[in-house]
Chain A
Amino acid sequence: MSTGQIHDLGYKRYVGSRRSMGTRWTVIMRHQLATAWKTWWRFRVWLVAGMLATAVSGGVLYFLSGRMFRMLGGLSGQGINFADGILPLSMQWYCPIGFIISLAIGATVVAGDVQSGAFTFYFARSVRPRDYVIGKLAGLGILLSLVMVGGPLFLSGLRLGLSDDLDHLIELAPVVYKALAVGALGTLVYAAVPLGFSALITNRRYAMALWAAYYLIIGWMAQGISYVTRPEIAALDLGAALKGVAMNLFEVQMNGRNAMIPTSAALISIFGHAAIAIGLVFWRVRNAQQTGVGGSS
């Protein structure tokens, strides 16, 4: 390393203008994207998994759009079009992938920054708590939306492309909005909620474990309890709530607990979780802003 010599590359005072305070969140967002992209296991491999899920779902959708399967649907006497069910059913793939991405990236964000002392780094500068929270949320949101929105949107486009004629296409057009809505809800769940869990604990591994435990164990427990009580309880299982919204939105009649979760309960659960999580992050970050610089004394 150094020999103690001072190597000045020709210092001159910066006289240019500084970017406005309102753009600081974009810097944090770009950093979040760059960090996630750096290591293959945190995002890239799951993006590939999402693309594979989309390819498989698209293949099945193409296959089920064939004349033979439409005839089978007609023979059932209920006019079922199997192809219509593929898009909501694809959430069975996208939700686990979204969860894994949220576990690898989202659940470690705030805890990791607390652990490494990064808040001192951020808040000794002209970064406000809202810049940090919005930047991190936006970064995570973009990453997750590549899978959670991109996949369903591609499938909805494919579904439109496989329509028989213009009338059929116009009839099917709402699937695009529905796919966007389901994808956006999925992005919100897997971006905001793990961020909230990462704000609860100052150790990134424990934060990951807490988020995983909540998502899986509390989810399973809620499902179990809902069988003997009310179906609304199952909405506490965020994955099930998302799938429930997708089933109801696409009006696909399926057996199973997910399909029985009322849309209103699922939406309350999703937005409630997200609001509490974002509130927690703000609380943690605001505290960190006041204690980081100069130590906590």
Chain B
Amino acid sequence: MTAIIELEGLAKRFGAITALQAVTAVVDGNIIGLLGPNGAGKSTLLKCLLGLLPYQGRARVLGLDAAAQGAEIRDRVGYMPEQEAFLSGMSAVELCTYAGELSGLPRTEAMQRAHAALYYAGLEEKRYQPIDGYSTGMKQRVKLAQALVHDPEILFLDEPTNGLDPRSREEMLDLIALLPVRRNCTIVLSTHLLPDVERVCDHAVIMHHGQVRFVGTIDELRGARGRDSELFVEVKAEAARLGEALAAAGATCRVTSPVALEVDLPANATTQLVFHTAQAAGLQVRELGVRRESVEAAFLRVIGDTTHQIGGVPQRALTRALAGGLSTPADATDLGGPR
């Protein structure tokens, strides 16, 4: 089966500035978070994928060559921009109909789909009003609807929750999370808000300095350190006493509450050490799992830690190799699940 996005040695320079450096990656998933600090190359990558910028190397979207078939790709891709991109004086239904027609749909079909997309986005009551008078939340919904109207197979969402109040943000994230199921399309979510990624994405692509630093699932990202020796342990009581016993056995412990502690096992030790030590001390282990990072911590590690630079190595393969070292997610889930 064709991957959603395939990149091979993709490079783009603007004069002396290198925006993309020989990016090689295969991206798949239902909702993919595209992450990276400002200037990481996300926008340039997006433009290359849509066939709007010439580039070196190879980029394929839905199996189509972005350099030669940019227009065909754009017919099959929806784009929700971060900034306002409306035509003044138009109502939401006029805008969405126009968007559909510009993507090649016949007028009647475009109009029907415009109404359907606006209903989906929750704008059924206001769809005949001029967009100029809409609130920020409503404008975000119109942007989503106009990106959906031509029935795209991939939807690029650029900061879709920007400027939204908490409730509208939740609603927008609900809409996004359900899109792959209800509209049968893949989402590429470009955002700075890592909690949004944690909430809706199943895959992530992390970019930094024009390179793809990570491609893989969110679980792989959070566990990509490849160490299953960093545990959290919850006991019925007396966590400090278990900590002392484990320290005596060579582990490094940090008591985080009267009933919880973080444990770094010594080399060659397994979780059995924790259970045996607790049993010997007469303590009851209630929960044990591999310490997982938040997406935010994992993101900072990936872009900040130079030991994780993946120059020249296919990132997905490396990520899989790293993730393959983790045999614990299932165990951890059995024992109460990862944090």
Contact = CB atoms under 8 A, between A and B. Distances in A.
Interface of A: 1-11, 13-14, 16, 18-21, 24, 27-28, 31, 35, 38-39, 112-113, 116-128, 289-290, 292-297
B175 A1 contact: no
Contact of A9 (B77, B106, B116): B116
A118 B122 contact: no
23 contacts: A1-B126, A2-B138, A3-B122, A4-B122, A9-B116, A11-B183, A13-B184, A14-B109, A19-B104, A27-B98, A38-B89, A118-B85, A118-B86, A122-B102, A124-B50, A124-B74, A124-B81, A125-B75, A125-B150, A126-B103, A290-B47, A293-B43, A294-B46
B39 A297 contact: yes
B102 A127 contact: yes
The binding surface of chain A is classed by DSSP as loop
A289 B50 CA distance: 11
A97 to B, nearest CB: 23
Contact of B102 (A4, A5, A125): A125
Contact of B85 (A10, A117, A290): A117
Contact of A295 (B71, B82, B109, B122): B82
B113 A293 contact: no
A116 B84 contact: yes
A105 to B, nearest CB: 13
Nearest to A7: B119
Interface in B60-86: 71-72, 74-75, 77, 79, 81-86
Contacts of A31: 98
B165 interface: no
Contacts of B119: 7-9
Interface of B: 38-39, 42-44, 46-47, 50, 52-53, 71-72, 74-75, 77, 79, 81-89, 98-99, 101-106, 109, 113, 115-116, 119-126, 135, 137-138, 141, 146-147, 150-151, 158, 167, 170-171, 174-175, 178, 182-184, 190
A16 B46 CA distance: 27
A126 B89 contact: no
B31 to A, nearest CB: 16
Contact of B52 (A4, A8, A293): A293
A126 B175 CA distance: 25
B89 A289 contact: no
B135 A1 contact: yes
B122 A16 contact: no
B38 A121 contact: no
B103 A116 contact: no
Contacts of A297: 38-39, 43-44
B113 to A, nearest CB: 7
Nearest to B119: A7
A29 to B, nearest CB: 12
A112 B125 CA distance: 28
A248 B267 CA distance: 99
Given A8-B182, A126-B75, 12 more contacts: A2-B171, A6-B178, A7-B119, A8-B120, A21-B71, A117-B85, A121-B81, A121-B146, A124-B81, A126-B72, A293-B47, A297-B43
B43 A121 contact: no
A20 B150 CA distance: 14
A4 B176 CA distance: 12
